């Protein structure tokens, strides 16, 4: 049986180990925060004017809202893809509705929308999302990373002068940045051209996770084994995170299925 001194020594070692783990976790979060801040700044400087790689749903609504509120169209599309995958009837557990997931009633009424049914009109909803992003960009001195964090977490929880923001806000910024890469044609599906309809691109669900970091880790593992795989993930209204394989046609589906098998994952 361990002596009192030995128990104290073990507790001290455990405390030190936990402290180092906390410091490492904090350092990693701060690094990711800085990386995303830089990535969004580079986008704002060099790529915000690029045309989308596809014809996305509700295209006129997005182009009008982008022009009227001086928000890059590709940014609005990235937020919409990550929030609802362009589904006008989408609804989340947090009572957010429509294409860019406007929270009811708080955010909606703040934006001058008095009826819940109005959020299911795509143009009304997208205009509201663009206005909200414009407002947040003003609050955060045009810092896209922080504005997106606030779009997800609420502006009252994001301090523009802090060196760090909540982990959940960091992952959301990275999540939208991944969807931005898709919108701009930087994903793994090649030969994207503007006259290709987004609705023509297939999606096959691989797995669903309860936590975002598990979905991200799963994608990372598969992409390391098969870099040409076209994978994405979506936060669904249930609060779960769905990893999907995207493909342009039957040949690309079969090619991706082979790569998945080689990476140790078999489609049903």
Active site residues: 83
Which pair of structure tokens corresponds to residue 43? 């986008």
Strand order in the sheet with 202-209: 202-209, 241-247, 231-235
Q: Residues 219, 222, 226, 231: is their CA dihedral positive or negative?
A: negative
Q: Which residues fall within 8 angstroms of residue 173, CB to CB, at 6 or more apart?
A: 36, 40, 145, 148, 149
Instruction: Specify the 3-state DSSP secondary structure of 268.
Output: coil
Q: How many CB atoms lie within 10 A of CB 143?
A: 19
Q: Are 152 and 169 in contact (CB under 8 A)?
A: yes
Q: Of 230, 236, 224, 232, whose CA–CA distance to 264 is shortest?
A: 224
Helix runs in the chain, H state only: 4-46, 59-69, 73-84, 106-110, 122-139, 144-153, 167-183, 212-225, 250-262
Distance CA 151, CA 169 (A): 9
Distance CA 268, CA 120 (A): 34
């Amino acid at each position: 049986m361990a002596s009192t001194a030995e128990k104290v020594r073990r507790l001290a070692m455990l405390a030190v180990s936990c402290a180092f783990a906390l410091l490492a976790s904090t350092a990693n979060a701060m690094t990711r925060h800085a990386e995303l801040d830089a990535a969004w700044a580079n986008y704002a400087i060099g790529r915000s004017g690029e045309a989308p790689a596809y014809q996305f749903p509700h295209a006129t609504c997005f182009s009008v809202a982008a022009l009227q509120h001086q928000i890059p169209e590709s940014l609005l599309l990235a937020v919409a893809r990550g929030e609802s995958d362009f589904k006008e009837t989408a609804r989340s557990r947090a009572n957010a509705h429509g294409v860019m997931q406007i929270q009811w009633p708080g955010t909606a009424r703040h934006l001058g929308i008095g009826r819940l049914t109005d959020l299911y009109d795509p143009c009304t909803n997208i205009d509201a999302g663009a206005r909200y992003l414009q407002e947040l960009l003003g609050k955060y001195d045009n810092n896209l990373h922080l504005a997106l964090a606030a779009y997800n977490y609420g502006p009252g929880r994001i301090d523009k002068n802090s060196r760090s923001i909540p982990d959940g806000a960091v992952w959301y910024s990275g999540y939208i940045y991944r969807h931005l890469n898709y919108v701009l044609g930087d994903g793994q599906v090649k030969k994207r051209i503007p006259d290709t309809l987004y609705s023509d691109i297939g999606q096959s669900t691989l797995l669903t996770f309860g936590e975002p970091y598990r979905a991200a880790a799963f994608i990372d593992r598969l992409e390391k084994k098969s870099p040409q795989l076209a994978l994405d993930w979506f936060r669904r209204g249930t609060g779960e995170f769905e990893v999907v394989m995207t493909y342009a046609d039957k040949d690309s589906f079969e090619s991706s299925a082979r790569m998945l098998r080689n990476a140790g994952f078999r489609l049903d």
